[in-house]
Amino acid sequence: MLLRSYAYHLRKPSPYIAVFLVPKVVLVEQQANALRNHTDLKVGMFWGDMGVDCWDGDMWKVQMEKHEVLVMTPAILLSCLRHSFIKLKMIKVLIMDECHHAAGKHPYACIMT
């Protein structure tokens, strides 16, 4: 698993995080559980119904201090990048599950541009 080879870069108090993007909310928990089963990294799950749209930079900072891997939908990461809550330089590993969806105005495509 790719994240195992980067674990030493991610372990706290490292300022870096890994972000695992999945295209559907139902996959957030599924992938987070798989990561917990196959690594000893601290994994956080984030989706819209958690109210993350209302979170500020301080709330995201707490989450990044607590977790080494953030599993979320691409729309959440895109919003965080646009508000500068998360900066690309903080992300040591970015995994885009089902990245073949990255076309047009899809959040995957927007993140990459």
Token pair 């209302």 is found at 54
Confidence (pLDDT) at 74: 95
Confidence (pLDDT) at 15: 95
Distance CA 88, CA 78 (A): 11
Domain ranges of the chain: 26-112
Q: What is the CATH number of domain 26-112?
A: 3.40.50.300
pLDDT along the chain (113 residues), means of 10: 91 96 96 97 96 96 98 96 97 91 80 84
Q: Does the bond joining 15 to the residue before it have cis omega, within 30 degrees of 0?
A: no
Q: How many CA atoms are closer than 13 Å to the CA of 110, on its beta-carbon side?
A: 12
